[in-house]
């Protein structure tokens, strides 16, 4: 293993999304800026706020100064929902670190436990941590012990979080992404002009599809426009910006320290060992 630059570190997509301030009030750029975030204008299909959000994402990936000003620090609070409380997420020195792609398993705290108060929640968490080794091979025994220990009527549910889909991060061709985006834009225009009725509906309600009930009705023009074309284009554009400007989600460690991240215990140890050997 060889770390070429220990100032450059990596995070998961899930953790990247946590530091995006997309809930703040969007300052919409001028029309010219919005029209040029991609080689073809997207404003014939997406609303101005939608294109504004894509602009923010593009700037986060491509403009370091913009990112430094707008990243939001991750804040955690114990909402008593899961056994393991959310802690500071990790950044990784090694892009192939096993912890960068490992899934996270947690348990939801039953409502009947939460209703008994903080002390019972504490006892529940401690019992889980001491006996969780049974989950891999003796899940039924674990649940039975848990039910007996706490006199539970409804056993807890297992919750597994995908850590980011590392396969998605690698081997995405920028030209192929661009081709898919262009084809979807062309197909969207073809669909808009399917017939007079479809065109009139999209022209009238197509920019605010999220506000219309018809958007949830399969077979309706707004359902197809929203789910196939608008959502499809937005997701592809997001990937296009990532692959073009920051394909590996790499950042400077100092920035992530300030935002509430911590070094991965596994690959940071290896990086320290290598630094020592290179002295």
Burial class of 99 by CB neighbour count within 10 A (0 to 12, 13 to 18, 19+): middle
**What band does 1 get if pLDDT is binned at 50, 70 and 90?**
very low
3-state DSSP call for residue 159?
Answer: strand
What confidence tens digit (pLDDT) does each residue in 143-196 have? 888 888 998 887 765 544 445 444 343 446 889 899 999 999 999 999 999 999
Q: How far apart are CA 143 and CA 133, in angstroms?
A: 12
- The residue assigned the tokens 């080794």 is 133
- Please give the share of the chain, as a percent, with pLDDT higher than 90: 27
DSSP 1: -
Q: Quick check: pTM over 0.85?
A: no
- The b-or-e profile of 19-29 (16+ CB within 10 A means b, else e) is bbeeeeeeeeb
- The b-or-e profile of 120-129 (16+ CB within 10 A means b, else e) is ebeebbebbe
**What band does 265 get if pLDDT is binned at 50, 70 and 90?**
confident
Angstrom distances, CA of residue 110 to CA of 114, 131, 175: 7, 17, 48
What confidence tens digit (pLDDT) does each residue in 228-260 have? 999 999 999 998 998 898 887 887 777 788 778
- The residue assigned the tokens 């848990």 is 146
The answer to whether 93 and 264 have CB atoms below 8 angstroms apart is yes
The answer to whether 54 and 237 have CB atoms below 8 angstroms apart is yes
Q: Supply the DSSP string of 27-43, one letter for each residue.
A: ----HHHHHTSSSS--T
- Residue-range domain boundaries for the chain: 20-70+173-246, 102-167
Q: What is the largest CA-CA distance in the chain?
A: 73
Please report which helix (H) or strand (E) contains residue 189, including its range.
helix 174-192
The answer to whether 185 and 40 have CB atoms below 8 angstroms apart is yes
The residue length of the chain stands at: 279
Alpha-carbon torsion, ordered 210, 72, 253, 240, to 10 deg? 20
Q: How far apart are CA 25 and CA 138, in angstroms?
A: 49
The answer to whether 186 and 178 have CB atoms below 8 angstroms apart is no
């Amino acid at each position: 293993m060889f770390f070429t630059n220990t100032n450059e570190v990596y995070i998961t997509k899930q953790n990247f999304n946590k530091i995006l301030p997309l809930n703040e009030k969007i300052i919409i750029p001028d029309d010219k800026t919005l029209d040029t975030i991609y080689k073809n204008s997207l404003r014939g299909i997406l609303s101005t706020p939608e294109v504004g959000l894509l602009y923010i994402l593009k700037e986060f990936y491509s403009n370091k100064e913009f990112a430094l000003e707008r990243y939001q620090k991750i804040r955690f609070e114990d909402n008593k929902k899961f056994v393991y409380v959310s802690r500071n997420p990790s950044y990784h020195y090694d892009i192939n670190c096993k912890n960068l792609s490992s899934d996270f398993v947690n348990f939801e705290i039953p409502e009947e436990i939460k209703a008994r108060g903080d002390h019972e929640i504490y006892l529940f968490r401690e019992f889980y941590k001491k006996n969780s080794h049974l989950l891999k091979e003796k899940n039924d025994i674990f649940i039975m012990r848990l039910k007996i220990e706490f006199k539970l009527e409804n056993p807890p549910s297992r919750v597994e979080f995908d850590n980011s889909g590392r396969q998605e991060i690698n081997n995405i061709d920028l030209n192929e992404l661009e081709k898919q985006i262009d084809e979807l834009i062309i197909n969207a225009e073809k669909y808009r002009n399917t017939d007079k009725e479809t065109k009139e509906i999209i022209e009238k309600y197509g920019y605010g599809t999220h506000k219309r009930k018809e958007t949830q009705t399969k077979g309706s023009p707004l359902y197809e426009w929203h789910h196939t074309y608008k959502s499809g284009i937005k997701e592809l554009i997001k990937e296009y910006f990532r692959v073009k400007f920051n394909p590996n989600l790499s950042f400077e460690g100092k920035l992530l320290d300030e935002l509430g991240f911590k070094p991965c215990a596994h690959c940071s140890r290896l990086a320290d060992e290598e630094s020592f050997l290179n002295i």
